[in-house]
Structure 1
């Protein structure tokens, strides 16, 4: 069977970073003689009624054998699955990865090492009626400084370090009405983490990221990167973390604990791969497409 696939990215995001990721996947597919088309998510509208379920706007009459989903449009991913298309990663995996609270909860349920975390109570709208004593107890438990992290966000932009109760209460007031969590600050990993790219049952590429002037190590936020050789403990943890959320492939970020023990910081179900290639010379897209071919067989 000649495989045919779609690669979907978000058509509303500015810049070429997301199209670039899709094009890397497409080139890797071409190396394996797999035909693919790239689509923006806004060109594939989900339509359903009591007696019909389809996609609008696509010129293709046939659905693909598979989709590589580089976006977070969970409803579109689910629509494709309802239509019988194998989606990499699945809608459920994307949803778990996109919601950091759900990610940590799943990792904790699997007994994997994460920072101590308290989820802020759900609020439907922002209000001045906040009981700061509740959060004072949390501060006493987790200690200061601590991390205040929004459930949804990318590139480290929704992660905040607060050092005093005053800063904590101000940030809580600012975020009230949004889902967020309070988390122990892993000071031993200040400005440093490692990104391990998992594909299938293996870590295929790794890099260390460092920042000299920020607690976050994200390259997008100004961090530097260097090739890294993970330990077996780090490798096993990254693979177990990806499997915990059902990922076919993922970028797993690990922090260093006080005794250099690895702690999961984040899992990205659609981690971009250009920086990894620039750092290590390893094209993760080739591994992704090889894994997809094996699974479809």
Structure 2
């Protein structure tokens, strides 16, 4: 566990990166002007977030250390815009991704499951 001062981050802002297997599927910027938490279900908003190459490389380094199906990796944002690892959630809800993009993460997850079960259809 790491405890960090909330003064080091932008309150009410975070990035959720959606991952299936070892593949980054997409990312959203979640925002709230009323709460330090940016959760969509708590009244926050979401928009597509284009990860930089450097951010993708950092996230891929994290992903490469784990074997999981579908996860969300959440990052807080410091005052310079740098991502700070916050948490990882397995079988994460994907409402925000569906809301801001045409990405079908469930289709990607089913493909991964079928591949792991060696089902071709």
Deviation sequence 1:174-220 (CA, Å, 0-9, x none):
xxxxxxxx433254321111111011222112111000121111111
Matches within 5 A, 1:155-194: 182-185=3-6, 187-194=8-15
Q: Does 1:252 align with 2:73?
A: yes
**Counterpart in the other structure of 1:209:** 30
Residues 235 and 186 of structure 1: is their aligned pair in 2 closer, same or farther, counting only changes over 3 Å? farther
Q: How far apart, in 2, do the equivalents of 1:239 and 1:282 lie?
A: 19
Of 277, 283, 294, the residue aligned with 2:98 is: 277
**Structure number with larger C-alpha Rg:** 1
Q: Kindly indicate which of the two structures has a greater share of residues assigned to helix.
A: 1
TM-score (structure 2 length as normaliser): 0.83
Q: Kindly indicate which of the two structures has a greater share of residues assigned to strand.
A: 2
Deviation sequence 1:82-125 (CA, Å, 0-9, x none):
xxxxxxxxxxxxxxxxxxx4xxxxxxxxxxxxxxx2xxxxxxxx
**Counterpart in the other structure of 2:56:** 235
Shift of 1:240: 3.0
TM-score (structure 1 length as normaliser): 0.37
Matches within 5 A, 1:43-58: none
Q: Given that residues 14 and 76 in structure 2 are in contact (C-alpha distance below 8 angstroms), is that contact kept between their aligned partners in structure 1?
A: yes
Q: Given that residues 208 and 227 in structure 1 are in contact (C-alpha distance below 8 angstroms), is that contact kept between their aligned partners in structure 2?
A: yes
Gaps of 5+ in 1: 1-100, 102-116, 118-181
Q: How far apart, in 2, do the equivalents of 1:291 and 1:202 lie?
A: 10
What SS does structure 1 have at the residue aligned with 2:9? helix
Q: How far apart, in 2, do the equivalents of 1:190 and 1:244 lie?
A: 29
Matches within 5 A, 1:137-152: none
Of 20, 32, 44, the residue aligned with 1:223 is: 44
Matched pairs, number: 118
